[in-house]
Amino acid sequence: MLKFSRVWAMPNKNTFSIKPVAEIIKRYMDSVDGFWIDPFVGQNTYAMYSNDMNPEIKADCHLDAIDFLRQTPQQNDYCMFFDPPYSPRQSSECYKSIGKEVNMKTTQSSWWANLKDEISRLVAPDCYCITACWNSNGIGMSRGFEIEEIRLVPHGGWHNDTIVTVERKVC
């Protein structure tokens, strides 16, 4: 049964530090005996295996997210955090902030689709992917995921809401 909740909070570029987002993450981490991976760790400290392109961020790897996911071997207990830059503009800012070149490939929708394909490859059946974004698309039914919970976190004013989608891999 799909659960939906709406909890107000101040915006923060470190999505997982927003209290209602952190609460949902902790609840699922406590309920699943899985190994959590994060290809966009930023300031997140929840993942057991982490990546961030920025070499100044504390992470296990410092690769482009797609390269990080592609080099990660499959196992039967992987869960995933997916908190990418929310827009092509934010992606561009991330690349530029560490001196990397931005090109069409890194801002096209196919880049997002490739990331989701890799996440689908890695997340084990009955394990979870928790996505934070401006939409509730998540990884998707076409990749074998079923939405279990959506948390809408409105920030007020002209700030975009943060939408946290929790999906379980069903096949």
Handedness of CA 58, 61, 66, 70 (dihedral sign): negative
Greater pLDDT, 60 or 44: 60
Residue 107: the pLDDT is: 61
Chain-wide mean pLDDT for the chain? 89
Share of the chain above pLDDT 90, in %: 63
pLDDT tens per residue, range 48-70: 999 998 899 999 999 989 999 99
Residue 142: the pLDDT is: 97
Q: Which CATH number applies to 3-169?
A: 3.40.50.150
Listed by start position, the domains of the chain span: 3-169
As a whole number of angstroms, the distance between CA 67 and CA 157 comes to 37
Secondary structure (DSSP) of 20-73: HHHHHHHHHHHH---EEEETT-TT----SEEB-S-TTS--SB-S-HHHHHHHSP
